[in-house]
A and B are shown apart, each in its own frame.
Chain A
C-alpha cells in the first residue's frame, strides 16, 4: 500500500509514530520520516496511524482501504 504524509499539515503530534512505529519515525522532536510504500503486514499500523492523526495529514491508498481513506490517486 502507498501513503503520503502532507508535511505542511503535520504538527508533530506523533500519534503515527506511537501506533505505527515500523512505518513512521520521529527524527528529533519534530521531523518525521516514513516509508511511502509498505507491505500488507504493516497495513494495520498505517490505518491506525492515519485514523489517529489529529490533523488528517496521512493519506493512504491500497487494497481493502475504506473508500473514505483512499484519497491518493
Chain B
C-alpha cells in the first residue's frame, strides 16, 4: 500500500479521474494527513465541515492556482470582513433580500433553452451530453443573467480553459496545444471584462454586470478592478461547474437505469436527487485554496500555523461515519447534508441557479429522451482534478418525445 504522503499526486493523475473514490477512501484512513510537500489534506466529513466554518482558516493567504486578470481579488480569495462586503454587493442584484425573484423567474427561460437543445436531439440517434446539452445550457443562462453577449462565448471559453489548464495540480500531463499561454489569456480576458463593464457603465441594461457597474447600495460599489475579478470568478464558476453537475447527473442516471425510470415517472424526485448527486459526484472535488492563520487542532492532529490545507469535499461526502451506504447513489436519502456546495461564508454563490438548471435539465432529459444508453463507460474526462467532469459523454438513444 502506498503511504498517504503521495495521495494528492495520485489523485491529480489523470488516470484516477474516472473513479477517484477508492483514493478518497484511502485518504480517509488518515482524516488529517500531512503530504510530502507540507500540504495537509482533510478528508472526513465533520473535520472538513468544522474547518469550513473556522475563522482561523484563511482563503486569502495561499497563492492562487489560477492567475486572475486584475489587481483585485475575487470574493473566493477574501476573508471576512472584506469578503462579506464584496459578497453583499454581488448578491444585491442576484438574490434576496434585494432581488429575491431574479433566479426564480429564470425558470421559464431555462425550460425554453432545454427544450430547444433536446429538440435538436431528434435529428440524430447519438449526442454528446457535454457539447450538445450540459455545456450550452448554463452558458446561455449566465450570458443572459450577467449581460455577456452570447457570441463572445467562444472567446471567454478559450480564456477560462487556458487559465484553468495552466493550474499545476502536481501531476504530469501534456499541455493542450489548442490552449493559449496563460499570461496572454489573463491579459486578454482582463481587457475584455474591463471593456464589458465599461460598456455597461455607459449603457446599463437590466443584467447583473450592469448593476455591478452602476448601482450603489449600502456598501457602495465595487472598484473597476474588483468588478473584473468578480466577472472573472462568476464566468469561470458559471462555466466550469454546472456543466459537470448536469453531465455527472446524466452519467449517474444512465449507470442507474432504475433511478432514471423513477425520475421519468416522478419528476418531483429530481429535487432530492440533485442533493444526492451533489454528495455522490460533486463538481468541485476539493478546495485547494485554504491556509491556517494559527495552529488548528482537528481530529487530534495539530495543523501548524501558516500551513496549506486541502479540504477534500468529495471524500467527506462519502464518509461512512456520516452517511450510511455512502458509496451508493440513493436519490431519496432523507439525510443528505452534503459538502458539494461547500459550507460557511464561501458557500457556493450560484447554488440556487445550479439547482434550478440541473432540475430542469435532468427531468427533461428523463422525460424526453427514449432508451438512452452510454456509448462508453467510463467516458473521457477533463484533466482538472478539482473541477472534475467528463470531457465528452456520448449517449445513444431511440428518438425524442415531444
Contacts and interface: CB of A to CB of B under 8 A. Distances in A.
Interface of A: 13-15, 17-19, 21, 25-29, 44, 47-48, 51-52, 54-56, 66-69
B271 interface: yes
Contacts of B335: 56, 68
Contacts of A47: 268, 271
Contacts of A18: 95-96, 100, 103-104, 352
Interface in B219-252: none
Contacts of A26: 96-97, 100
A67 B332 CA distance: 10
A54 B385 CA distance: 25
Contacts of B271: 47-48, 51
Contacts of A52: 275, 351-352, 355
A69 B333 CA distance: 10
B356 interface: yes
Interface in B265-287: 268, 271-272, 274-275
Contacts, number: 65
A29 B242 CA distance: 27
Contact of B100 (A13, A17, A44, A56): A17
A21 B101 contact: yes
Given A52-B275, A54-B337, A68-B334, A17 B96 contact: yes
B156 interface: no
A48 B53 CA distance: 25
Interface of B: 88, 95-97, 100-101, 103-104, 268, 271-272, 274-275, 332-335, 337, 341, 343, 347, 351-352, 355-356, 359
A34 B35 CA distance: 47
B97 A19 contact: no
A15 to B, nearest CB: 6
Nearest to A18: B352
B272 A14 contact: no
A21 B100 contact: yes
A66 B332 contact: yes
Contact of B104 (A13, A19, A27, A69): A19
A56 B333 CA distance: 13
A42 to B, nearest CB: 12
Nearest to B105: A21
Nearest to B276: A51
A73 to B, nearest CB: 16
Contacts of B359: 48
Contact of B352 (A19, A27, A69): A19
Contacts of B101: 21
11 contacts: A14-B95, A17-B97, A18-B96, A19-B352, A19-B356, A25-B97, A44-B268, A51-B271, A51-B274, A52-B351, A66-B272
A28 B97 CA distance: 6
4 pairs of A and B residues whose beta carbons are closest in the complex: A68-B334, A18-B352, A17-B96, A26-B97
A56 B337 contact: yes
Given A66-B332, A68-B334, A13 B347 contact: yes
